[in-house]
């Protein structure tokens, strides 16, 4: 099996971290995997150094925007050359471009991932495209139950959606760190450290975290990550007189070493699809404090391995942070249960669920795509039919009824070839010996029905012969689709 994973850019982020672990787990199972990006990475913001696959397995196909003709051409050429069995797309641009290109290239399985609750974020136009493009994929993966509920609200069909939790490689966490972060940052061993790891954007609510931390009596706050809000957050930190207690460390490729060096992870997000960093922290053995975004309740057991507080509640967050730092018995109890992370959050379970989804047959997307192919093949055969009918009748002055039969007979052979090898993807030539007679029988029956019906419409109702042929062709197309499904069934 060959899998191609498409993502817009390989910057440091939760999606990209998931893709790294997916690729590694696929390879462990002897599955060929490739990663395609649309934009080059930034030198100081990339997981590129952590990838464990070869250069030919990691390809950047440049897209300046979604209408980039050169990008489309290169992506289509790549997919047709590589012939993947499965394409998995992640996030908005990759979902749209990747699904269209994969469908046009005839990829057997197309799976799109939705990573967040986009209520109030995506425009009505974007939601409209999501509803349309769902039919170009075999499945839409929601990474949590809240994401699934959001997709349902915005018109994604329930039979399309599969909830598959993000996963991490559990064996990589909870081990001795490769470096001593406290020594590197000159932080005393007895200092209580709160950690935030993520993008510095509005959705992460780091402004709420800083406001809360200004009311925390002791400890330091390490902020690992970068983003558009960094300058504003640094100014807010200075305004709150936190400069000596808060360190902005920017993008780091050694985030997993920060977990054992810290005492508590804090994730105050306003919006989060899953919150993979919560799992990473818990597996590393440190408690977490999280806002009550939907998926947090699926990861954090309030009062057992962490604390859940209300969104946008700086006072409540400060209270939780103070309790974690001051109440040693309470904190040690949280820490004792931190590593009790369900196996459903492992990358192994994640891949098992994906493989089960890939092997699933009879999806709505497959039927829709087949019908579209059938329609295109039928239109192609109809063009041949109508063109020859017109040429025979108007240029060679053949009686229209003979022209009808001649044109229909030739278009029949065109139809058979397209329907067998393209629409129904039946490449077994050994079956032609019985499929062709069956198709011929259908063709002869349709030929008789076609000739009689056109004659009836022309002679009885005075219809123009071209219009009569159009009506009869449409009716025969519907009948043929259901018969072809039986003849060319794999």
Task: Determine the Cα–Cα distance for residues 339 and 306; give it in Å rounded to an integer.
Answer: 11
Rounded Cα distance between 126 and 121, Å, is 10
Q: What is the distance between the alpha carbons of residues 429 and 423, in angstroms, rounded to a whole number? A: 15
Q: Are 144 and 125 in contact (CB under 8 A)?
A: no
For 86, other C-beta atoms within 10 Å of its C-beta total: 23
Strand-pair category, 32-39 with 86-90: unpaired
Tokens of 420: 């067998």
Contact 350, 301 (CB under 8 A): no
Low-confidence stretches of the chain (pLDDT < 50) are: 364-365
Name the DSSP letter for residue 349.
H
Domain regions of the chain by residue span: 2-163, 171-342, 364-487
Concatenated DSSP letters for 249-293? EE--S-GGGHHHH-SEEEE--SS-S--HHHHHHHHTT--EEEE--
Residue pair 407/385 in contact by the 8 Å Cβ criterion: yes
Superfamily of domain 2-163: Glycogen Phosphorylase B; (3.40.50.2000)
Q: How many residues does the chain have?
A: 490
Q: How far apart are CA 407 and CA 464, in angstroms?
A: 17
Report pLDDT digits (tens) over 222-263.
Answer: 999 999 999 999 999 999 999 889 999 998 888 889 999 999
Same fold, 2-163 and 171-342: yes
Q: Could you tell me the fold of the domain covering 171-342?
A: Rossmann fold (3.40.50)
The pLDDT, as a whole number, for residue 364 is 46
Torsion on CA atoms 140, 145, 149, 150, rounded to nearest 10: -70
- At 237 the pLDDT is 96
pLDDT, residue 365, reads 47
């Amino acid at each position: 099996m060959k899998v191609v994973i498409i993502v817009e850019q390989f910057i440091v982020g939760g999606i990209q971290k998931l893709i790294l672990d997916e690729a590694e787990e696929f390879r462990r199972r002897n599955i060929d995997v490739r990663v395609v990006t649309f934009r080059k990475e930034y030198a100081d913001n990339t997981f590129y150094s952590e990838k464990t696959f070869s250069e030919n397995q990691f390809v950047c196909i440049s897209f300046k925007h979604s209408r980039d003709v050169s990008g489309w051409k290169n992506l289509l050429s790549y997919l047709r050359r590589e012939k993947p069995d499965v394409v998995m797309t992640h996030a908005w641009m990759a979902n749209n471009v990747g699904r269209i290109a994969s469908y046009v290239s005839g990829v057997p399985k197309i799976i799109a991932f939705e990573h967040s609750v986009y209520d109030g974020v995506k425009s009505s136009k974007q939601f409209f495209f999501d509803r349309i493009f769902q039919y170009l994929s075999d499945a839409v993966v929601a990474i949590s139950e809240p994401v699934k509920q959001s997709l349902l609200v915005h018109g994604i069909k329930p039979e399309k959606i599969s909830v598959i939790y993000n996963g991490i490689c559990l064996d990589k966490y909870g081990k001795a760190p490769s470096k001593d972060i406290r020594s590197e940052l000159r932080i005393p061993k007895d200092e209580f450290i709160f950690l935030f790891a993520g993008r510095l954007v509005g959705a992460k609510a780091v402004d709420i975290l800083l406001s809360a931390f200004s009311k925390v009596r002791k400890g330091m706050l390490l902020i690992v990550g970068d983003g558009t809000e960094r300058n504003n957050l640094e100014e807010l930190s200075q305004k709150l007189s936190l400069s000596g207690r808060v360190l902005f460390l920017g993008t780091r490729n050694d985030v997993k070493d920060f977990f054992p060096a810290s005492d508590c992870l804090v994730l105050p997000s306003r919006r989060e699809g899953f919150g993979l960093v919560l799992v990473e922290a818990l597996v590393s053995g440190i408690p977490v404090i999280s806002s009550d975004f939907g998926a947090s309740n699926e990861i954090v057991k309030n009062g057992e391995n962490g604390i859940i507080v209300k969104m946008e509640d700086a006072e409540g967050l400060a209270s939780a942070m103070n309790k974690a730092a001051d109440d040693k018995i309470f904190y040690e109890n949280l820490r004792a249960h931190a590593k009790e992370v369900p196996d459903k959050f492992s990358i192994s379970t994640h891949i098992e669920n994906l493989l089960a989804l890939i092997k699933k047959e009879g999806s709505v997307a497959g039927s829709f795509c087949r019908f579209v192919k059938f329609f295109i093949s039928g239109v192609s055969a109809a063009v041949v039919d109508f063109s020859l009918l017109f040429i025979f009748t108007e240029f060679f002055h053949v009686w229209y009824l003979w022209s009808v039969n001649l044109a229909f007979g030739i278009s029949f052979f065109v139809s058979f070839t397209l329907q067998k090898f393209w629409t129904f993807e039946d490449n077994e030539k050994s079956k032609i010996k019985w499929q062709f007679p069956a198709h011929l029988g259908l063709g002869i029956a349709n030929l008789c029905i076609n000739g009689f019906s056109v004659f009836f419409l022309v002679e009885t109702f005075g219809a123009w012969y071209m219009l009569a042929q159009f009506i009869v062709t449409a009716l025969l197309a519907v009948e043929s689709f259901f018969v072809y499904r039986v003849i060319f069934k794999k």
